[in-house]
A and B are shown apart, each in its own frame.
Chain A
Amino acid sequence: MMRRTSVRAGALLAAGALLVAACSSSGSNKTGAATTVGGATTTAAPGTTAGGSTTTAAASTSSPASSTPAATTWAVNTKDCVDPAAADKAITGTLHLGSVMPLSGGIAAAAFAPVKAGFEAYIDYANKQKMLGDVKIDVNIQDDQYNKDKTPGAVSKLIDGGVDVVAGIIGTPDNLAVRQTLNDSCIPQLNALTGSPHWGEVKDFPWTMGILVPYDIESKIYAKQLSVMYPKGAKVALFYINTEFGTAYADAFKELAKQYNLDIVDTETIEGEDATPPKSQVTNIAAKKPDVVMAVPLGAGCVTFLNALAAAKAQNAGWNPATFITNTCASSLILGAAGPDANGIYTSGATIDIGNPANATLPKVKEYLDIMKAAGHADIATTAAAGWATAEATVAMLQQAQKSSAGLTRASIINAARNFTYTPMLARPGVVLHSNGEADPFLAQSLQVIQYDAAKKIFTDVGKLITEFETK
């Protein structure tokens, strides 16, 4: 309702939408940093196997209609549901798919209208292709104006309208606000479009899953990249927006910094509603002459930060730090306004760079672009890819659920989602969505570090896809 000045997690711009865990196929042992519930990172013991998944503490389901798990496959316990019958009821005819997105009311909201378009476009496509056979998917996206106080109302509307599955809600607080309700009602809350580590809390909230690479993982991937670029260590300055979004990055980076010999010489923040260019922050950073600048601004702040940084670089001849920036800034739409100041920045992505003309001929990309053009959305195809990819993953989960022994029920949907392996059509090679019950609650944990060329407005890959933080 009211214009929002506080900006939060989110100017999701397509390139970084889908992230996928590249767990190598079948059962090889790998060590890796696994994220546990609550976002703290522990290093898995060398003996952890890929197949050693655990069942939930709530034991295996006893309700006969739910998907029959093998002894080691995760399945949700529908006994805890308020209405277990509804959770196990077969869904026929129409599947009601709901979502809540910021369709209005502020900076972050503006970035998301294309997400809705992409989402609905894919569902349209899925219905046309009869991906769920006789079952038609009916989509209902409500507006919460990126205000978590409005999300419960929007979700209540969906529940009253008989929604079966909710997917792609944007915003960490927004998802949090309705998490309890959806879990109590046993409605799958799939593919939350945020990178919050909260979606790993499988035990308490088995019906909730996220789809983005958690912010802390993205931050760690940058740290990892830095350890490759600067094997002897480096001086780093952190700049982040003072919201949950920014602090998630900052905290995760600080965690790994010591391990990779990264010395954080300066930490600067900016407030969400502060539209003035961050001159004083950049002056402070420049004074310390770090080798690397890790930046987590948001929206218009992406542009002003890059401008200020470029000015500082020009004034401090000889200082040319490698600049890493959050992938929510990484869209040529926003970066265009920064002009040449955005040249050479590092960021990350899991989807193919749609904006790059060279990729337009790739068959999957071409298919996507054609569909968007036919729907009249050619101008937002780049940013709509996030919605498209989310809907694609959701439908794939629905398909897997339908094929399961329990058929298409709410319980089988979440079970399918938690035992999921899938390669989205717009994903980079090597990026695969993978989940495995409680052991691996995050679908996407790998990113490709990319670098921006301001003149050509395209991203080029730097190094290999970093899959280090995949939970195997």
Chain B
Amino acid sequence: MKLPLATIKSGGAASWAIRIAVAAAVFAVLLWVPTRGSDPTIGYCLDAFVLMGAAMSLNLLLGFTGQISIGHSAFYGIGAYTTAIFVTRWHWSPFQTMPMAFLIAFVVGVLVSLPALRIKGVYLALVTLALGLVFPQFIKWPKVEWLTGGAKGIDKAGFNFGRHNRTYSIFGWKPFGDMRANGALPFYFWIGVGIVVITYLVCRGVVKSRVGRSLIAIRDNETAAAVMGVNRAVTKGIVFGLSAGLCSLVGCLGTIRTNNVTPDSGYITVLGGITFLIVMVIGGAGSLWGPNIGAVLYIFISVQASNWSNDSSTMPFFLRPFLSWSKVPVGDGIFAILLIALMFVAPFGLVGLWRRLSAKAVAVVPRPFGTASVTTSSATPVAD
């Protein structure tokens, strides 16, 4: 069999056809899930959205700029708490709190980027790790307890569809019906979709813009980039800020979904930051779609693993000798192995692997010089 099997011109009809087909498939899934899918399925999709948004924001920083951050859980937490505080204290609508959360996180991100100018690589990882650890502690600090609720957290912090606010109407149209029945989950689902789309568009916009090219320049060789006139401070500041802001949006989603927030909830602790990193790496650092694939895979494996733990007879036979004796659920173990294996086989994540393999099957030929479109380079992960 002669490789490649086929040749497609980038920007040509075939590549557009593929793009449209993929988009249509995604759209179909997006419509099916909230209308026909079961509640747990919608719930898993929401989990995936949260991870998608967070991983994409982290990717902006790490995949494209090469700055390691294990502390994005702090920005998630900023989003979560901003929503909670503004909703309970000043009765804002959760929608209104999102731009606020973005702003606050942006500012904090820029502040964090200042030391990042001098600190690189593993040291930066440590600083961000410490940031991720400090955030929950800060929330519990007695001096700010009046605002954050301390260890108890804040309740009734989201839309709070109680017995009195049962429908959500857009100009008289009630698309979700009675929220208390099943309406709330699809509603949150669409909010999640919105956030993911916005995050994706922002990331894409940044990467393909001049700022994006500066980022890649910095990542590949910072000194050379500086010599070439890239303003490192501004670029890094903007990127850190954007990354932080985007991550905070999914924090808002988290609070909306469970209607409360506590300093120990899922992704506000530093282990959440590590999860985001894992998701991003699995999917593929440095590619726009990688984090999304990673998020879907992560949720899928988590759910499967917890099913297996509940009932080990459902575990596939080839895994059983390795995992069925475990006294704890096997999800963590699977991810650890997957992570390590990926670094051997596909350091650019699954998307990178896919690109490599599919490049063997299908070659994409760039347009002749002088025509419009620009392709994104398949990125290499940071080498700092």
Chain A positions within 8 Å of B, measured between CB atoms, are: 1-6, 8, 80, 82-83, 103-105, 142-143, 145, 147-150, 152-153, 156-157, 159-160, 173, 176-177, 180, 184-185, 204, 242-244, 246-248, 271-272
Q: How far is it, in angstroms, between the C-alpha of A259 and the C-alpha of B254 when the chains are bound?
A: 42
Residues of B within 8 A of A185 (CB): 180-181
Name the interface residues of B242-256: CB closer than 8 Å to any CB of A: 254
Is B39 touching A104 in the complex (CB atoms < 8 A)?
no
Q: Name the CB-closest residue of A to B136.
A: A6
Is A153 touching B40 in the complex (CB atoms < 8 A)?
yes
Is A244 touching B309 in the complex (CB atoms < 8 A)?
no
Residue of A82, A149, A246 touching B265 (CB-CB under 8 A) = A149
* Dominant secondary structure of chain B at its interface with chain A: helix
> Quick one: CB contact mask for B298-340 with A, threshold 8 Å, 1 for yes?
0000100110011000000000000000001101100000000
Q: How far is it, in angstroms, between the C-alpha of A417 and the C-alpha of B302 when the chains are bound?
A: 36
Is A82 touching B180 in the complex (CB atoms < 8 A)?
yes
In the complex, whether B222 has a CB less than 8 A from a CB of chain A is no
9 pairs, A vs B, C-beta closer than 8 Å: A2-B275, A3-B332, A103-B309, A103-B329, A147-B266, A149-B47, A149-B267, A204-B162, A243-B264
Is B39 touching A105 in the complex (CB atoms < 8 A)?
no
Residue of B136, B264, B271 touching A8 (CB-CB under 8 A) = B264
- A-B residue pairs, 4 tightest by C-beta: A184-B180, A6-B264, A156-B39, A149-B266
Q: How far is it, in angstroms, between the C-alpha of A178 and the C-alpha of B260 when the chains are bound?
A: 11
Residue of B136, B153, B258 touching A152 (CB-CB under 8 A) = B258
The A-B contact count (CB < 8 A) is 111
Chain B positions within 8 Å of A, measured between CB atoms, are: 38-40, 43-44, 47, 136-137, 140, 150-153, 155, 161-163, 178, 180-181, 254, 257-260, 262-267, 269, 271-272, 274-275, 302, 305-306, 309-310, 328-329, 331-332
Nearest chain A CB to B253's CB is how many angstroms away?
11
Q: Name the CB-closest residue of A to B331.
A: A1
Q: Name the CB-closest residue of A to B185.
A: A156
Residues of A within 8 A of B152 (CB): 244, 247-248
**Which one of B38, B259, B264, B269 has the highest number of Cβ atoms from chain A below 10 Å of its Cβ?**
B264
Is B332 touching A153 in the complex (CB atoms < 8 A)?
no
Is A1 touching B302 in the complex (CB atoms < 8 A)?
yes
Nearest chain B CB to A102's CB is how many angstroms away?
11
Residues of A within 8 A of B254 (CB): 149
Q: How far is it, in angstroms, between the C-alpha of A149 and the C-alpha of B299 when the chains are bound?
A: 13
Residues of B within 8 A of A80 (CB): 163
Q: Name the CB-closest residue of A to B257.
A: A152
Residues of B within 8 A of A248 (CB): 152
A104-B309, A153-B44, A272-B264 as given contacts; A148 in contact with B258, CB under 8 Å:
yes
Known: A6-B269, A147-B265. 6 other contacts (CB 8 A): A2-B271, A3-B332, A83-B181, A143-B306, A177-B260, A185-B181
Is A104 touching B329 in the complex (CB atoms < 8 A)?
yes
Nearest chain B CB to A398's CB is how many angstroms away?
24
Q: How far is it, in angstroms, between the C-alpha of A242 and the C-alpha of B140 when the chains are bound?
A: 8
Q: How far is it, in angstroms, between the C-alpha of A159 and the C-alpha of B151 when the chains are bound?
A: 30
Q: How far is it, in angstroms, between the C-alpha of A159 and the C-alpha of B180 when the chains are bound?
A: 14
Q: How far is it, in angstroms, between the C-alpha of A48 and the C-alpha of B44 when the chains are bound?
A: 49
Residues of A within 8 A of B275 (CB): 1-2
Residue of A5, A142, A156, A247 touching B271 (CB-CB under 8 A) = A5
Residue of B136, B151, B260, B306 touching A247 (CB-CB under 8 A) = B151
Is A5 touching B269 in the complex (CB atoms < 8 A)?
yes
Is A271 touching B302 in the complex (CB atoms < 8 A)?
no
